[in-house]
Structure 1
Amino acid sequence: MIVELVGAGYAYEDGPAVLSGVGLGLAEGRSTALLGRNGSGKTTLLRLLSGGLRPQAGQLRLHGEPVAYDRAGLTRLRTTVQLVLQDPDDQLFAASVEQDVSFGPMNLGLDEAEVRARVDESLAAMDIVALRDRPTHLLSYGQRKRAAIAGAVAMRPRVLILDEPTAGLDPHGQERLLDVLDGLRTTGTTVVMATHDVDLALRWADDAAVLTPGGLRTGAAGELLADQELLDAARLRRPWGTAVAELLRAQGLLGEDEGPRTAEELAAWTRGVARRGLSPIVPLPAPGSPPRPPSRR
């Protein structure tokens, strides 16, 4: 595991424990959706993973070694793990996009050429090269989201953690952001996304981590998001893809471990049935398998 919480617990001053006995490991190149009801501790968990909070019980490990919460230890952690907050205005502070994105690399003491290379790379990755000189206060909400993520990407983290990154974005903005995250994953970046959107989690994530009053459950996204008891405990609704797959299986149209994750996959399956003039069992992705990149049409 790149980074791992082991038996972690945390409580805010004069309050009950928000998290207790949490274990969560993040492997290279995997995508994880973190889900749970409001107040379940998602943001607290993300801050523990990124070093913004220190576990009051248990520990955070980086490459198998306990993290030291001194300057050197936190610098080492934050060159590996970067957190992007839900509200980009909590993260953007410089006058222009380029200045904001360059802040982190400059603080690492990198030379000017390396800083420039990282800024160029991050702006290109987030598709905001044209906004390089734009004042941050003149950006749209979606542009501010991408600028905030670019600042994290410029640190070249191995783990990128995002708190509700699609919140407040229109459908087109969500698709553009997911394209970017897919590109980062292909380069080996581990991506963690806190979200309330169970359909997005089923479609996008390899793994899921679901916070309930009884603790944290982790596993393959398709498997966990088909567990109605778990969804009820976390106050989450059943994903659309899971419900459709259950209906098709009940009609004998799908095998036990098959099911569409997206409307595009269902449409492709339907076209295949229509071409054959039959209702055969047509192979579709298994719920626990890595999702195929969704169609952008």
Structure 2
Amino acid sequence: MSEPLLETKNVRFRYERNSPDVLNDVTISFGKNVKTAILGANGAGKSTLFSILNALRKPDSGEVLYNGSPLSYRRRDIRKMRSEVSILFQNPNDMLFRPIVEQDVAFGPENMKLPRDEVQKRVDDALFAVGMSEFRKSPTMKLSYGQRKRITLAGVLAMQPKVLIMDEPTAGLDPQMACEVMEIAEQLHRSGVTVIMSSHDTDLTYSWADEIHVMRHGSCVYSGESEPFYSDKVEVYLSGLMPPASFLMNEGLSGIGTVTREPFPRTQCQMSAKIGGSKTGKFGTLHIVQVSDDTDIDALMNDYGDMTSGIYGMSARRAQDHSKAKIDFFYNGPENCTMKCLSGNDAVLFCDPLMVESARASADFVCNNGYADVQIDVRDCSRTT
């Protein structure tokens, strides 16, 4: 088990003296570099818990620990803690501080007293990460809700935190941007950042999170892996949630004897392989090609012909940005490319070196459990320009 990085111990909080507790004796441990999801219905206390974790609010009783030490609420200590623990609010309007996009993204790094060149680099990288580089000179309040949400995410990324807390990060986003946000969250995790998020989307969190904590009426009623919680229909119902679609399908198919209950598939690709894999009995090869920002993808595509292609991770997106190569899957590349392999076709995935383990996760699942014989070929072209 990973060592705790953030902890709450018996935390209670109410907004007004005579009002009921919003948080009631909440004890939760967030492991270092563990992908954690906080689940619960509206009003369960998720957002209030996040504000406590970031020291925006002080608990009425109990304590918050960061790196094993009780949180101090002295101004200097709070400033240092917030430079390492960043929070992304659900409503982007709560996080816009300046009128122009690039100025707003620079707000955090400038307050950290970083050199101007470093601030500029962080702004450039963050805007590219969220697909908003072309809007850098735009007025923030003339952007759409989804675009403003991207800008606030860029502002948080520019801080380069050690812990990123995201409150409903995909709410109000189109499906493609939601995929991008989850890809960013995965890349941050792979780079050593501890990512904590809340969401109503159990399909999304089921495919991503290592651990879940379920909030109900201000109390934490469950902590642990996803499957034991979703197996308890009463607890799921009382918590105002629905089990993920892949979990329900697996339960239904195992109930009629079509498949065994375990292992649990967490994605559509894994579920498809468990049900049947390739009807022809032939499986393709997943070529994972590691690339750097300036790798020539056009030249590499000559090695893979008309093969189905995808991109995954920040360096792959930068490399593709100056490429004319035809890319089939800009979003959810690993799952889509693995699905192609299950149908007997080869696929190539241009991938950030940090993301290789994530890129091969579904292919490893189907192979390790004997559902399909997808070959995985990893090639390092990250130094090739």
TM range (shorter): 0.7 to 0.9
Q: In structure 1, what is the Cα distance between the partners aligned to 2:28 and 2:232?
A: 19
**Corresponding residue number in structure 1 for 2:228:** 223
2:279 match: secondary structure: helix
Q: In structure 1, what is the Cα distance between the partners aligned to 2:209 and 2:54?
A: 20
What TM-score, normalized to structure 2? 0.69
**Corresponding residue number in structure 2 for 1:295:** 335
Q: Which amino acid aligns with 1:159?
A: V
**Corresponding residue number in structure 2 for 1:287:** none
Q: In structure 2, what is the Cα distance between the partners aligned to 1:209 and 1:67?
A: 21
Gaps of 5+ in 2: 283-331, 338-385
After superposition, where does 1:149-168 map in structure 2 within 5 Å? 149-168=153-172
Deviations 1:204-257 (Å, cap 9, x if unpaired)?
Answer: 211111012483121112332333232122121222111111112223343332
Q: In structure 2, what is the Cα distance between the partners aligned to 1:35 and 1:202?
A: 11
**Corresponding residue number in structure 1 for 2:255:** 250
After superposition, where does 1:7-18 map in structure 2 within 5 Å? 7-13=10-16, 14-18=18-22
Are the structure 2 counterparts of residues 230 and 17 from structure 1 closer, same or farther at C-alpha, using a change threshold of 3 Å?
same
User: Conserved in 1, the CA contact under 8 Å of 2:40 and 2:200?
Assistant: yes
Aligned equivalent of 1:79, options 66, 77, 83: 83
User: Conserved in 2, the CA contact under 8 Å of 1:157 and 1:189?
Assistant: yes
Q: In structure 1, what is the Cα distance between the partners aligned to 2:11 and 2:169?
A: 25
Q: In structure 2, what is the Cα distance between the partners aligned to 1:227 and 1:214?
A: 20
**Corresponding residue number in structure 1 for 2:74:** 70
Q: In structure 2, what is the Cα distance between the partners aligned to 1:46 and 1:163?
A: 8
TM-superposed deviation, 1:92: 1.2
**Which sits farther off after the overlay, 100-109 or 266-275?**
266-275
Aligned equivalent of 1:260, options 252, 262, 265: 265
Q: Which has the larger radius of gyration?
A: 2
RMSD over aligned Cα atoms? 2.2
User: Conserved in 1, the CA contact under 8 Å of 2:259 and 2:274?
Assistant: no
TM-superposed deviation, 1:69: 0.7
**Which sits farther off after the overlay, 110-119 or 81-90?**
110-119
Q: How many residues align?
A: 283
Does 2:7 align with 1:4?
yes
Q: In structure 2, what is the Cα distance between the partners aligned to 1:256 and 1:293?
A: 27
Percent of pairs identical after alignment? Answer: 36
**Corresponding residue number in structure 2 for 1:234:** 239
User: Conserved in 2, the CA contact under 8 Å of 1:264 and 1:294?
Assistant: no
TM-superposed deviation, 1:103: 0.6
**Corresponding residue number in structure 2 for 1:288:** none
After superposition, where does 1:1-297 map in structure 2 within 5 Å? 1-13=4-16, 14-213=18-217, 215-216=219-220, 217-272=222-277, 274-276=279-281, 295=335
Q: In structure 2, what is the Cα distance between the partners aligned to 1:201 and 1:84?
A: 17
**Corresponding residue number in structure 2 for 1:280:** none
User: Conserved in 2, the CA contact under 8 Å of 1:6 and 1:21?
Assistant: yes
Q: Which amino acid aligns with 2:14?
A: A
Q: Which amino acid aligns with 1:295?
A: E
**Which sits farther off after the overlay, 98-107 or 265-274?**
265-274
Q: In structure 2, what is the Cα distance between the partners aligned to 1:112 and 1:52?
A: 28
Q: In structure 1, what is the Cα distance between the partners aligned to 2:270 and 2:279?
A: 14
**Which sits farther off after the overlay, 190-199 or 42-51?**
190-199
Gaps of 5+ in 1: 278-291
Q: In structure 1, what is the Cα distance between the partners aligned to 2:262 and 2:275?
A: 18
Are the structure 2 counterparts of residues 50 and 36 from structure 1 closer, same or farther at C-alpha, using a change threshold of 3 Å?
same
TM-superposed deviation, 1:152: 1.0
Q: In structure 1, what is the Cα distance between the partners aligned to 2:216 and 2:32?
A: 26
**Which sits farther off after the overlay, 136-145 or 51-60?**
136-145
TM-superposed deviation, 1:273: 5.9
Q: In structure 2, what is the Cα distance between the partners aligned to 1:105 and 1:296?
A: 36
1:254 match: secondary structure: coil
